Amino acid sequence: MARGSTTSTGTSWIISRADPNRHPELHRLGAKLAQLGETEWVELDWVRPTPEEMAARAMAIWTERVGRAVEDLHALPADRPTVAEGPRFFPWAVLPLAADPRTLPRR
């Protein structure tokens, strides 16, 4: 993989939308990926950190991505139900975004 590339198109799209104020971990990841080649990035992000550090970073990034996922959900047609699931939908990250804890607000 070339220097500055990411591991997938989806990852580069998500990182390209990261705002440094709203998504500091994603922004940090994007800056690191832009500077390093794949080998150096894998070493720094997957080989050296402890499992606890990796889990904390993953949870921080997933939590930051909840808002992006909700923005994408709002773009879907409102005339039918939508179910969203995945590892980033932690209760503490979703509840502040929901008017009713049982449902996310629709636009």
Q: For 14-25, write each residue's pLDDT tens digit.
A: 777 788 888 888
What is the C-alpha to C-alpha distance for residues 23 and 62, in angstroms, rounded to an integer?
10
Residue 33 has pLDDT above 60, yes or no: yes
Residue 4 has pLDDT above 70, yes or no: no
| Residue appearing with tokens 């794949």 | 38
**Mean pLDDT value across the chain:** 76
pLDDT (0 to 100) of residue 51: 93
* Chain centre distance of CA 30: 11
Neighbours of 65 (CB within 10 A): 21
Name the nearest CA neighbour of 35 among 6, 65, 64: 6
Q: Residue 100 forms beta bridges with which residues?
A: 103
What is the number of alpha carbons within 13 Å of residue 6 lying toward its C-beta? 16
pLDDT (0 to 100) of residue 10: 58
What is the C-alpha to C-alpha distance for residues 52 and 80, in angstroms, rounded to an integer?
40
Q: Three-class SS of residue 32?
A: helix
pLDDT (0 to 100) of residue 1: 36
52 pLDDT band (50/70/90 cuts)? very high
In what helix (H) or strand (E) does residue 67 lie, and over which residues does it extend? Answer: helix 51-74
pLDDT (0 to 100) of residue 78: 80
Residue 30 has pLDDT above 70, yes or no: yes
